[in-house]
Amino acid sequence: MIKKVITTALAAVTLTLSAVPCTQAAEQTEKTYTHVANVTHKPGSMVIYSYNVPYNTKGFINFTNNKTNEEFTATLSKSMGNPIGYGFAEDDAFITKTGTKVKSDTCSSSAPSVNLSGAEGTYEKIRIKLSDFSTYFNADGSHTMKVSEHGDHKFIFREENADSHGCIFSSELFIYSGSAINHVVPDKNGEVEIYVHKKLGDKIMFSTEYNSLIYYTGSNGVKYEASVTGGGTSGSYLRGLKIGDADADGGLYISDSTVIQKYLSHRITLNKLQMRNADANCDGKVDIEDATLIQKYLVVS
């Protein structure tokens, strides 16, 4: 279930720090996160990245320009794992649909929009365990869902080999952040590498697509073939990766500013992910400016 985070305007406060002994860690179970690299997106650029995706993937993304209504489709099998870059006007925005294909049957559905306005700047390549950031995923990065006329199936976000009944299951996973779209397949540890926008308050969303070809025997003893589509999500969140979310609990609140104040006064410690999130201005350090910036962001958001 997607929850809306509502923030209330906050009056400026005076921050007073005093050196006291460190007593505890910020309350949050440590999540699997590793910094890999930083890249820069220029104004008007949009890039599709891939991780662990087979070269013969059936996944695709369709884009519709909000201003011109022009459409184009990115056929991801042509990327061979390399980033696909596009250049547009700095204020362009796109409606997207993601899809996949099983034999001759193609399905697609709505996915998050991409707004290039303000989407330029630093993007961090990170490695994460999906289940640490959304309960949608199993520990191995898969998603279990009931398929009509078949029962529960664990989807692994790629086209799978036919099972003993001849059934074929195909699924796709896309993760959106700013002007970066990540097409990923979780590895054996349930982890992926993605590019995310290092900008205060920016959300990270994901969409999934499912397409299955099912063979089953009816009550009359006749064997049937059925195409089963749908059931994906078009805008769920990875919670705990947002810049400014200092306690990595998935939200951005005044309590995140308080967490930074407690850290600076040596009352708590922060783990690696929390330190990353607490650096609200992304200058490489956590200081009182980050706490103040979060307060200001909450006032105007």
Give yes or no for a contact between 48 and 79, defined as CB atoms under 8 angstroms apart.
Answer: yes
**Quick one: average pLDDT of 144-154?**
93
**Residue 87 binned pLDDT confidence (cut-offs 50, 70, 90):** very high
The DSSP call for residue 79 is G
Task: Give the up-direction half-sphere exposure of residue 62: CA atoms within 13 A in the CB hemisphere.
Answer: 13
Average pLDDT of every residue of the chain: 90
Q: For residue 33, what are its two tokens?
A: 């996160």
**Residue 177 binned pLDDT confidence (cut-offs 50, 70, 90):** very high
Instruction: Note the pLDDT tens digit of each residue in 232-257.
Output: 999 899 999 999 999 999 999 999 99
Measured distance CA(253)–CA(246) in Å, rounded: 9
Ordered structural domains, the chain, with CATH: 1-31+248-301 (1.10.1330), 32-239 (no CATH)
Residue 81: the pLDDT is 76
Give this prediction's pTM: 0.89
Residue that is written with structure tokens 């509502």 in the block: 6
Residue 15: the pLDDT is 34
Residue 181: the pLDDT is 97
**Quick one: average pLDDT of 258-281?**
98
Instruction: Note the pLDDT tens digit of each residue in 188-211.
Output: 999 999 999 999 999 999 999 999
Alpha-carbon 32 to chain mean position = 15
CB atoms within 10 A of CB 300: 7
Q: For residue 273, what are its two tokens?
A: 């992910």
Residue 274: the pLDDT is 98
**Quick one: average pLDDT of 213-220?**
90
Instruction: Note the pLDDT tens digit of each residue in 23-66.
Output: 565 656 789 999 999 999 999 999 999 999 998 899 999 999 99
Residue that is written with structure tokens 């589509």 in the block: 229
For 177, the 3-state DSSP assignment is strand
